A and B are shown apart, each in its own frame.
Chain A
Amino acid sequence: MSTPSSLYVADPRSKARRRSESRFRLMGLGAVGLAVAALVFLLSSVLGNGLGAFRQGVITLDMTLDAAIIAPKGTDPEALQKVTTIAYKRLLDRELAQDLAAKGLSTEGLSDKAIAGLLSQEAPAVLRRMVLADPALIGQPIRFEALANGRVDGFLKGRVTMESAKLDSNISPEQLTLATVMRDAGMLNLSFNPSFLTAPDASELRPEAAGLGVAILGSAYMMLIVLCISVPLGVAASIYLEEFAPQNRLTDLIEVNISNLAAVPSIVFGILGLAIFINFAGLPQSAPIVGGLVLTLMTLPTIIISTRAALKAVPPSIRDAALGVGASKMQAIFHHVLPLAMPGILTGTIIGLAQALGETAPLLLIGMVAFVRDYPAAPPEGFFDPASALPVQVYNWTTRADPAFMERASGAIIVLLLFLIVMNAIAILLRRRFERRW
């Protein structure tokens, strides 16, 4: 040490150390920034594409339910049942043209078919259900809110433009001009679309009617099954392994295998599920019971690992104290250790469930990627009815030809993300509220 150093002036080595620290901070900040940027990009793309799915173009029609068309053979339920949606479509097409004329909106240069093309093909089905539910409506004038065709809906949302319509074989600029006139006259509006969450899937001809109802129910049923089977199994297995099992080669082997299973690609569980639950046990295809069982297999290792960690975190003094005052081993565990480990177990369970909720690959193999329109019945029978699942519905919609399904797929991603956020928030809340540290 030649010169005495001052505490107020940094010497070269301190400077170098501080520089290296600020470099590291910058790099860390950069890493966080990149991750945030990727997240923002992902979210903005999903929200930008998908928020439209929650609003839907609706045509408000003042019309008369002409008995000559929809009830040619009288109004008793059996005769009404025989009238198909094709008749209802004829009625709707005619009434739309008449309503436009009555409101003084020009339809020049458009064929009847082109005018009818503004309506969704779902509209006749909705009208038919309405009439079947209340035959007294026949012959009455009603105000009916019909879904607009997917392209018209896209026009209102800016997805379809006059330029693209010129090249589009499914819609013409003239039709869009009429749509503009109708919008200005208040006949055509974008309104909130709750049926996106409740309606079942729809075929390729009616993207505007497709909803997530069956998929949400299917996912809920599967989560229920996963919860009911994997939690008791997982917790019982962990308690035994952690508290009762002797430490030997066999338990070591089991431990290694459980950790391995947690890392097995999920598609493997799908193959297993197909072989065991469907081909061997004869359970039905496309049913939530099979999906739930497969996801249970997938979630079990996660739950076992997190439960064992939670049990390990309870200090031995608790066990020793309980045993010391004469509790049996089982009493010590169930009365003292398990309640203290509960927050950790619940957190692990919810994270496992969230993982299972977003899982697609194993479901592809057991027929969950199907076109299902009927809602499954209430549990437990409903577990055996065909259903879809949320992530599978996203996959399904992205493979459809009509670009309107892209919007639906993004909308479904938003719903899925909301579910995941809620589940993860509950997990964090539980941990914050109840976790004890020693």
Chain B
Amino acid sequence: MSFLKISVSALAISTVAASAAFARDNIQAAGSSTVLPYATIVAEAFGENFDFATPVVESGGTGGGIKRFCEGTGPTTADIANASRPIRDKELADCAANGVTDVMEVRIGYDGIVFASDINGAEFAFTPSQWFNALAAEVVVDGKLVPNTRKSWKEVDASLPDQPILAFVPGTKHGTREVFEEKVLHAGCKATGAEDLFKAAKGDAKACTLLRTDGVSVDIDGDYTETLARVAANKNGIGIFGLSFYENNTDKLRVATIDGVMPSTETIATGTYPVSRPLYFYVKKAHIGVIPGLQEFVEFFVSDDMAGPEGPLAQYGLVSDPELAATQAAVAAQDVLKK
């Protein structure tokens, strides 16, 4: 009766499950796909140089990562949430409601967002206003709000090439989209005077970030490789990428300037390139001392060897934080976020 034996051993395996679930010796991180490559680089170096297990890093988006992080404390929850935006008050409140009270915030550096088109295409020099005028659902013409019907970049601004407008914009679940809306669309909305008209007409400025739905703005829900494939397939398309992704594909993409500034780690560090954002990760303080190596990993992440201007993260495209020393001190002191 060999079937019986197999079934019994299968049952035995599933009972082991319950007991084995309570110990974990590897760090688990989840969250933003923008932070993911940096986290994997550090995790790899950490596993190589320390006696601890290599951390397991998952993707899932900033929101998804924070949600898993905030599920509670214990081995089945994540120790670290990677985020391409600061944690929201509501998320912190959710965390606290689930018993995750002491959360350490660690800023690892800055990331730029670039606009790039096919390497053989025309050269572009954008301003935020031009992006707003090209992609917003409603724009200002002669002091009045009208639906946007512009077809070519030349119609947006005479200085731009005569090329049909087609933009590949990150989908709404991406942290990149939020930065694009805030730093580009909203800035353009303000500069063109549309913000005041929206406020007068609708009571708020939400319409600033409302994109056209007639096919010139395409939401990309996948990652940058999908955007790259779309740009390669449609030479008129302009994609929105992270700086590090662009730096790895400079032989395929031509990057555009914003306000006349070329995106690079230097221009982002000095703040002259306007479209950038800080990157963070959040650490569950309750897990320090419980999960082996957690404190060491966090300190290693922000050490000069990793996150410094000459470290591997900068080599991959992270803009090193000028205030890294302060972050290192805060990590060493295990400072937590205050509500």
- B49 vs chain A, min Cβ distance (A): 4
B57 at the interface (CB under 8 A from A): yes
Is the Cβ of B54 less than 8 Å from the Cβ of A374?
A: yes
Is the Cβ of B10 less than 8 Å from the Cβ of A232?
A: yes
Please report the total number of B residues contacting A with Cβ < 8 Å: 54
- A120 vs chain B, min Cβ distance (A): 12
A228 at the interface (CB under 8 A from B): yes
Is the Cβ of A386 less than 8 Å from the Cβ of B56?
A: yes
A21 at the interface (CB under 8 A from B): no
Is the Cβ of B251 less than 8 Å from the Cβ of A373?
A: no
Report A279-297 CB contacts with B as 1/0, cut-off 8 Å.
Answer: 0011111100100010000
With A169-B247, A232-B6 already in contact, the answer to whether A203 and B44 are too (CB < 8 A) is yes
Residues of B contacting A369 with CB < 8 Å? 58-59
Q: Which of A168, A282, A371, A373 contacts B36 (CB 8 A)?
A: A371
Q: Which of A121, A206, A371 contacts B56 (CB 8 A)?
A: A371
A177 at the interface (CB under 8 A from B): no
With A85-B49, A203-B37 already in contact, the answer to whether A399 and B3 are too (CB < 8 A) is no
- B314 vs chain A, min Cβ distance (A): 11
How far apart sit A292 and B225, CA to CA, in the bound complex (Å)? 30
Is the Cβ of B76 less than 8 Å from the Cβ of A285?
A: yes
Q: Which of A284, A399, A401 contacts B21 (CB 8 A)?
A: A284
Is the Cβ of A168 less than 8 Å from the Cβ of B43?
A: no
Is the Cβ of B24 less than 8 Å from the Cβ of A284?
A: yes
- B153 vs chain A, min Cβ distance (A): 23
Q: What interface size band does chain A fall in? A: 35 or more
With A167-B250, A202-B44, A371-B43 already in contact, the answer to whether A401 and B57 are too (CB < 8 A) is no
Instruction: Mark A residues whose CB is within 8 Å of B.
Output: 81, 84-86, 121, 125, 128, 164-170, 202-206, 225, 228-229, 231-233, 235-236, 278, 281-286, 289, 293, 367, 369-374, 380-381, 383-384, 386, 398-403
Instruction: Mark B residues whose CB is within 8 Å of A.
Output: 3-4, 6-7, 9-10, 13-14, 16-18, 20-21, 24, 26, 28, 30, 33, 36-37, 39-41, 43-45, 47-49, 51, 53-54, 56-59, 75-76, 119, 222-225, 244-245, 247-251, 305, 312, 315-316
Given contacts A165-B251, A228-B10, 17 further A-B contacts (CB under 8 A): A84-B305, A85-B48, A86-B305, A167-B119, A167-B251, A170-B248, A203-B41, A204-B37, A232-B10, A283-B76, A285-B58, A286-B28, A373-B44, A381-B20, A399-B225, A400-B37, A401-B249
In the A-B complex, the 3 residue pairs with the closest CB atoms: A373-B54, A203-B40, A164-B251
